[in-house]
Amino acid sequence: MIQVPERLRRLLPFARRPPGAAASATARPARQGHNLFEAAAVYVAACAEDDQVRAEEAANRVSPGALSFGVNELACRALVTLARQRNESPLVVARSLLGLRNESA
């Protein structure tokens, strides 16, 4: 069974590094214990603005697992807030944001 960190490396674009980058990644200074929610906020905002450099910097502040948790928490909070503003269910809003048809239950 594949371990969670390995699965995250496969899924998250910042974790996909060319084989030669592995050596340079170990030369990087140790992570400083940054706030994972701050890193997630910067990462998502940078991705939305297509700022790859800032996204990489934010991704390197915390572990991939912590970043994934932070991004998930941000997505949940944003979805709930937007659903309240639209007076719709979170599922309807999520499907709308992803361009999916809303199917009647």
Q: In terms of pLDDT, which residue wins out, 2 or 92?
A: 92
pLDDT band at 28 (very low <50, low <70, confident <90, very high): very low
- Give the global pTM: 0.63
pLDDT digits (tens, 9 = 90+) for 47-81: 999 999 999 999 999 999 999 999 999 999 999 99
Alpha-helical regions (H) of 3-63: 4-11, 21-26, 36-48, 52-59
Containing 73, the helix (H) or strand (E) segment is helix 64-86
Return the pLDDT at 103. Answer: 76
